[in-house]
Amino acid sequence: MSHSDSFIRKYIFSTDHKIIGIQYILTGLAMALVGGTLAGLIRLQLGWPGLQWPLLGKLMPVGMPSGVMTPEFYMALVTMHGTIMVFFFMSFVLVSGFGNYVVPLQIGARDMAFPLLNMLSYWIGLLGAIVILLSFFVQGGAAAAGWTAYPPLSAVASAMPGSALGQTLWLLAMALFIASFTMSGLNIVATVLSLRAPGMSMMRMPLTVWSYFISAIMGLLAFPPLTAAAIMLLFDRHFDTSFFLPSGLIVAGKLLPNHGGSPLLWQHLFWFLGHPEVYVLILPALGIALDMLPVFSRKPVFGYRLSVYCLMIVAVLSMIVWGHHMFVSGMSPFSGEYFSISTMLITVPMTIIGVNMLGSLWGARITLATPMLFALGIIALFGVGGFGGLFLGNATADMQLHDTYFVVGHFHLMIGGVTLLGTFAGIYYWFPKMFGRQMSEALGKAHFWLTFLPFFTVFFMQHFVGLQGAPRRYYAFTTYEYLNRTHGQNVVISLVAFLLMAGQLVFALNFIWSLVAGRASERNPWHATTLEWETSSPPPHGNFVEIPTVHRWAYEYSVAGEALDYTPQTVPARQVAVTA
Amino acid sequence: MTHSTSPKRGVLDVWLVSLMFLLLGAGIVLYGRRDWLPPLASRHGAGIDDMLRYLLFTTGSLLFVAFTALSWLVWAGGRRHVVTQRVAAARTEVVVSLLLGMLMAAVAEGGVLAIGMPVWKEYFEAAAPPDAVQIDVTAQQFFWNVRYPGADGVFGRVRNELVDEASNPVGLDSADARGADDIYLVNQFIVPVDRPVHIRLHSKDMIHSFFLPHLRVKQDVIPGMTPEITFVPTKEGTYELACAELCGLGHYRMQGIFKVVAQRDYERALREEASK
């Protein structure tokens, strides 16, 4: 713990988990700006297909010559929006960012188990982010085969412009991201298992830590198959192998020499990662919500043990349901039956988690501070998004809904919305810890209203665009007569989406202003019980002057007969009774 | 009495948030109860619609209840000064959670097993009846090659090496006499009403997906695989065929026209095509 570190060692090439966490968060927020801009362009096209935007034409002469978007540019926008948001925003900020910052503090550790690996993980992740951004500027433009990158579209360079160099860079960025994410996950698992403060038994850990721990294990199990698949796809693209390319492909009038591969194999490998990945993202958001509710309800979380078990069950089930993304792919209909039934089992633990969130509000004394507003928003989005899952996990219903806007609406509520609100709840809640200053509550509340309602509206409406049969990844809905009536809905969705984006300016303003001139925060501004509030804000390198000893669980609020309505985890049992 | 001083609690916030959740619950039901599906035109589609309506009804009702509860919890909790329910008994937690968990499982699994699976099984397991109309479809960027077997009822052999995009798009082998009477159309389908249609799908290049929204038919076509589907159109009309799997930059305009007509008109149309 040298205090004479140079600026570069301290803030740039730092091995301190807090600095790395903040690096992840800032990088991820910058990537969100890119991903959000792409979403804006997508909504511009879907709201007013084919309209001319001369100014944008000047800015993007290739993608929008004379101001009208080309279909290939639209496909690149869709692909890159998904990729950037899932891997370089959500995974960066919510999983690696808060995972790094919060987990060691909440378990009373001085740092991650492998600080150097942690630094390496961030820099490799950043490299991945740079590669994915650069891919916009190569010949043919960025990858355009969707974030799922199904071959042959992603394997044959002549399939579409984005399938040229852009797709190769996409795969390289993916490989870098996975390497980085694996290191970061490994670190979280090792840290939780080996560096907990004295007295911090597993069943005394806050649910936030549990959710990061479980999500890291899932990541470690699920990512290797995609790594292998990405490398195989690179070989198919550049070294004439045929892992994913069958015999007899004729692209643009030319018979390809490949033999014996299977495009379906990629789908299995991709979704074996892809499905757990959505839980890797959503579990931390749920963990954060489950921990936020008690702080602002001044009572213990409802059903702590059950929540822990449910997080574990969800993790196990998520590894065996990937085929529900492939009901109409042509795989065996018997598999479809199995994947339907196993998928529906997930409703049991997920419902219990939802019930526990509502139960945490029962008989509570609620304070609607900004993090709490976002936590309540999570309950709402999780409810609607979860019920949408009942439609898509059901093979029979999915025959109509697969690859329509119903899917787009559903996953945006879940891995877009629950995670986004979780991210914001986390930022508002831990900002005082990170920077020693409070964010503005007034601006925070305005931001909540400008985020939650527009977000809900946009993606709720998309479910019904899907029920009308509108396929996703369509450049325009102008060709089909039966989709004429979706046009007005798309205009509304676009307008509300722009409101949503404008609302994020309030957040940016609040973030920057509070960083510079926010009110100095007291040590424990939310009167919370967990360990991160037992040290100064921001904490010193090494986190704690003295490693704390833990005497109780993390939810000791409103203990009967006590003057204060919260009892930190470090308070011994002889001073305040331990209630669980 | 336990007491907390910060942060501030606003009365207006409680009102607004509580009202918002109440209105959202009602709004979800009002918006969702409209008839959103394209008008139905196939026999098995009725089962799919039942499945969808069951889910819309159950999830809509549950969401209404849940949002009302959330609204009330915020309303009551926001005005309360002291926590009244600190921890529930462990037993209560387990019972409440498991009961609601099981209820959801019953809704979800019950729907799959009671309504979904019979439709799914019938759709996939029923062999095409002998009187089914046979159609062979080859998808490619960005159109549908449609072939009928002609008078002999047998498709001619195709070979990939013979494909020539200008003169022989599906690679029909002229050495096979059975192919001489095959009828070849582009993006056009015509089928008789109330008779099973059996379609064999191929793809030349990318993954496409054969999506007939009004007939509740969707089948991916992965190159190297030849999925076969059977369904019965039940309503005459002109329907649109869409591609539902991203296949390239023309994905959004890979449209086909699927005409369902009376048996007489179907026979006449095929005769006309054959004589061309």
The answer to whether residue A308 sits within a structural domain is no
Task: Enumerate the residues of chain B whose CB falls inside 8 A of the CB of residue A564.
Answer: 2-4
Q: Is the dihedral of CA A487, A493, A494, A495 positive or negative?
A: positive
pLDDT for the residue numbered A1: 45
CB contact under 8 A, B222 and A482: no
Is A510 exposed, middle or buried, given 0-12, 13-18 or 19+ CB atoms closer than 10 A?
A: buried
Which residues 242-271 of A have a C-beta within 8 angstroms of B? Answer: 246-253, 255, 261-264
* Nearest chain B Cα distance for residue A300, angstroms: 6
Residues of B in contact with A146 (CB under 8 A): 246
CA–CA separation, A287 and A106 (whole Å):
13
In a domain, A472, yes or no: no
| Residue B7 pLDDT level (bands cut at 50, 70, 90) | low
pLDDT band at B3; cut points 50, 70, 90: very low
State whether B4 and A75 contact (CB < 8 Å). Answer: no
* Domain final position from A158, A182, A205: A205
In a domain, A460, yes or no: no
Residue A259 lies in a domain: no
* A497 contact B CB<8A: no
The reply to whether residue A579 touches residue B87, judged by beta carbons under 8 angstroms, is: yes
> What band does A4 get if pLDDT is binned at 50, 70 and 90?
low
Provide the percentage of residues in chain A whose pLDDT is more than 90.
94
Tokens of A531: 């360990």
Q: Could you tell me the CATH number of the domain that includes residue A197?
A: 1.20.210.10
3-state helix, strand, coil split of chain B in percent (to 5) is 45, 25, 35
Rounded to the nearest integer, the mean pLDDT of chain B is 93
From chain A, pick out residues whose CB is under 8 angstroms from the CB of B216.
399-400
B32 contacts A250? CB cut-off 8 A: no
Is ipTM strictly over 0.90?
yes
CB contacts of B84 in chain A (<8 Å) are 363
pLDDT at A580: 75
Helix (H, G, I), strand (E, B) or coil at A64: coil
CA dihedral sign of residues A44, A48, A53, A58: positive
What is the reported pLDDT for B5? 45
Could you give the angle at the alpha carbon of B31 between the alpha carbons of B27 and B35, nearest 5°? 160
Average pLDDT over residues A487-500: 98
Q: What are phi and psi of B111, to 5 degrees?
A: -60, -45
Confidence tier at A6 by pLDDT (50, 70, 90): confident
Task: Say what the pLDDT of residue B85 is.
Answer: 85
Q: How far is A252 from chain B (nearest CA, A)?
A: 8
Q: Which of these three, A181, A205, A229, is where a domain ends?
A: A205
- Listed range (A252-256, A359-363, B72-76) with the worst mean pLDDT: A252-256
Domain encompassing residue A92? 17-205
Are B205 and A264 an interchain contact pair (Cβ–Cβ within 8 Å)?
no
CB contact, 8 Å: B98 with chain A? yes
Q: Could you write out the three-class secondary structure of A244-281?
A: CCCCCCEECCEECCCCCCCHHHHHHHHHHHHHHHHHHH
From chain A, the residues in CB contact with B31 under 8 A are 460-461, 464
Q: pLDDT value at position A240?
A: 93
- Find which of B220, B253, B258 to mutate to test the A interface (most A CBs within 10 Å of its CB): B220
Residue A172 lies in a domain: yes
| Average pLDDT value for residue range B84-88 | 85
Where are chain B's structural domains? 11-125, 133-275
Tens of pLDDT, residue by residue over A452-462, are: 999 999 999 99
Helix (H, G, I), strand (E, B) or coil at B271: helix
Candidates A345, A390, A481, A493, partner chain B, best to mutate (most B CBs within 10 A): A390
The pLDDT of residue B128: 87
B1, pLDDT greater than 90: no
Q: Which of residues 157-186 of B touch A (CB under 8 A)?
A: 160-161, 163-165
Q: How far is the alpha carbon of A195 from chain B, nearest alpha carbon, in Å?
A: 30
- Find, in chain B, the residue whose alpha carbon is nearest to that of A260: B224
- The C-alpha atoms of residue A525 and residue A528 are separated, in whole angstroms, by 8
Between CA A565 and CA B4 the distance in angstroms is 6
Q: What is the pLDDT of residues B37-64, one digit of tens each?
A: 999 999 999 999 999 999 999 999 999 9
Q: B10 Cβ partners below 8 Å, 6+ apart?
A: A368
Distance from C-alpha of A348 to C-alpha of B163, rounded to nearest angstrom: 53
Q: B262 and chain A: CB distance < 8 Å anywhere? A: no
pLDDT value at position A426?
A: 97
For A471, the closest chain B residue by CA position comes to B244
Q: Cβ distance A557 to A566 under 8 Å?
A: yes
Nearest to A337 among B63, B104, B117 (CB): B117
Query: Domain boundary residue among A205, A237, A267?
Result: A205
Per-residue HEC secondary structure of A344-391 comes to: HHCHHHHHHHHHHHHHCCCCCCCCCCHHHHHHHHHHHHHHHHHHHHHH
Whether A441 and B7 lie within 8 Å, measured CB to CB:
yes
Quick one: pLDDT at residue A22? 97
Structure confidence by residue, pLDDT tens digits, A177-207: 999 999 999 999 999 999 999 999 999 999 9
A336 in contact with chain B, both atoms CB, cutoff 8 A: yes
| Residue A516: predicted pLDDT | 95
Using CA atoms, how far apart are residues B125 and A5, in angstroms rounded to an integer? 70
Q: Give me the helices (H) in A1-94, please.
A: 7, 17-47, 54-59, 71-83
Q: Report whether pLDDT(B4) > 60.
A: no
CB contact under 8 A, B100 and A303: no
Residue showing tokens 């009004």: B214
Task: Give me the architecture of the B133-275 domain, per CATH.
Answer: Sandwich (2.60)
Q: Give A470 or B9, the one with higher predicted confidence.
A: A470
Please list every residue in chain B whose beta carbon sits closer than 8 Å to the beta carbon of residue A160: 248-249
Is B35 touching A (CB cutoff 8 A)? no
A417-436 mean pLDDT? 97
pLDDT tens profile A103-125:
999 999 999 999 999 999 999 99
For residue B91, the model assigns a pLDDT of 87
- Give A-chain residues touching B112 at CB under 8 angstroms: 340-341, 344, 394-396
CB-based contact (8 Å) between B136 and chain A?
A: no
Q: Does B249 touch chain A (CB under 8 A)?
A: yes
Helix (H/G/I), strand (E/B), else coil: B219: strand
Chain B residues near residue A400 by CB distance under 8 angstroms: 37, 48, 52, 213, 216, 218
Look at residue B156 and tell me whether its pLDDT is greater than 80: yes
Q: How far apart are CA A564 and CA B5, in angstroms?
A: 10
Q: How many domains does chain A have?
A: 2
Give yes or no for a contact between A81 and A39, defined as CB atoms under 8 angstroms apart: yes
Question: Residue B48's closest CA among B216, B260, B259?
Answer: B216
What does the block give as tokens for B221? 């076509």
**Residue B40: per-residue pLDDT:** 98
Interface test with A, best of B246, B253, B259 (most A CBs within 10 A): B246
- Residue A11 confidence class, pLDDT cut points 50, 70, 90: confident
Structure confidence at residue A3 (pLDDT): 53
Instruction: Give me the pLDDT at residue A7, please.
Output: 82
Phi and psi, residue A230, nearest 5°: -65, -40
Residue range B161-181: average pLDDT? 92
